[in-house]
A = this chain, B = another copy of it.
Amino acid sequence: MHFGLQFFPDAGPDEKSAQAYWNESLDLIGLCDSLGYSHVRTVEHYFNRYGGYSPNPIVFLSAASQRTKTAKMLTGAILPIFNHPLKIAGEIAMLDSISNGRMEAGFARAFLPHEFLRFGRSLDESRARFDEGVEQVRLLLEREHATHHGTFHSFDDVTSLPRPVQKPRPPIWVASTSSPESFKLAGQNGYYLMSIPRDADQMRELIGLYRKSWREAGHPGDGWVMMTFQMYVDRDEAKAIETYREPVNRHLRYLAEASAEWGKGFTSKDYPNHPKMLEALRKSNFDDQRRDNLVWVGTPADVRERIEKFDEAVGGFDVSSLQINTWTLPKDLAERSLRLFAEEVAPHFFARRRTPPPQSARA
């Protein structure tokens, strides 16, 4: 298994400035290569302390690329619904150029109603805009003189610049959380998958669906799956829990706050499961999530065991993306946890590291 670092800013201006958050994150990223973390990842969110410091993940990753030489620079994720495909394709290839071919492009549908409302987008167009957006960006990255006539955007004979370093283009990841249709489609299209772990039985089924549709579409290998976890290790288990319980609970509260509309009877045909899923998340907490091995907080030995169990329960996955610096955690403690994990946890899973299957250009 590969382990990378996820930077999800969940603070508002009266809590911790973006200047402090991003600069501390960059310092931690400086340790990434030497400690063997395989990626740096950040989100796209707006207007709210749930991720809102990162309205364009590529801007932060471009800075992060200057603190690393080998780690991948992964968007987790770009939201096509709020961006023009010509712009996204250009930015992806710029980062791929600046980082010497280390860019990986994760895309998601977005799910916070307040973002849609402010950008004047309908949630009911979510899937259509996502499918069209990813397809158009893929085409612009793969081909010169690309033409595509879509429902939302169209272009004729466009050669997007820069041309990406990676061929046929930077790998594409798709974020899916609950919809079997999304997991299936990601596999069919030969895209890597990023998800947020919930109930292990359900994840096992969804991942199985993804891998099955990957194979059936004739892609080489068995797909490529990433899960995101809150991670904090300390040799003293009680201290680890004491340090990270409130940050995890707060992250869940901020998610509830940012997605409040779903709890107020808001519905969309494109999000049949979201009201229920977010209701469940709102009701969950650190202790529940730790019991289910969805947060990795404890001693190195304890966390090793949680990873083993979760990996087995979902039928195996490939990459863990670790959230490691909640804003109330002093940087030196985040660094200590990062080092301890790299020394005493990660190596136990190196034997089962695979190589991601290649992605191919559209026929």
Contacts and interface: CB of A to CB of B under 8 A. Distances in A.
Nearest to A49: B161
A34 to B, nearest CB: 17
Interface in A146-170: 155, 158-163, 165
A110 to B, nearest CB: 14
Given A13-B163, A160-B47, A161-B46, A56 B94 contact: yes
Interface of A: 12-13, 17-19, 21-23, 26, 46-49, 52-56, 58-60, 62-63, 65-67, 82-84, 86-87, 90-91, 93-98, 100-101, 118-119, 155, 158-163, 165
A162 B59 CA distance: 13
Contact of A53 (B59, B155, B162, B165): B162
Q: How often does this chain occur in the complex, in copies?
A: 2
A52 B144 CA distance: 14
A227 to B, nearest CB: 27
A231 B67 CA distance: 30
A158 B118 CA distance: 8
A19 B94 contact: no
Contact of A162 (B13, B62, B84): B13
Contact of A62 (B13, B17, B23, B63): B63
Contacts of A86: 46, 55, 118-119
A87 B93 contact: no
Contact of A54 (B18, B59, B94, B159): B94
A75 B268 CA distance: 39
A22 B97 contact: yes
A103 to B, nearest CB: 11
Contacts of A13: 161-163
A94 B60 contact: yes
Contacts of A56: 58, 87, 90-91, 94
Contacts of A94: 18, 22, 53-56, 59-60
A19 B63 contact: no
Point out which of A26, A47, A96 has the most chain B C-beta atoms below 10 A from its C-beta. Answer: A47
Contacts of A60: 62, 94, 98
Contacts of A96: 19
B90 A19 contact: no
B100 A46 contact: no
A163 B9 CA distance: 13
Nearest to A54: B94
A94 B51 CA distance: 12
A153 to B, nearest CB: 8
B66 A26 contact: yes
A205 B362 CA distance: 56
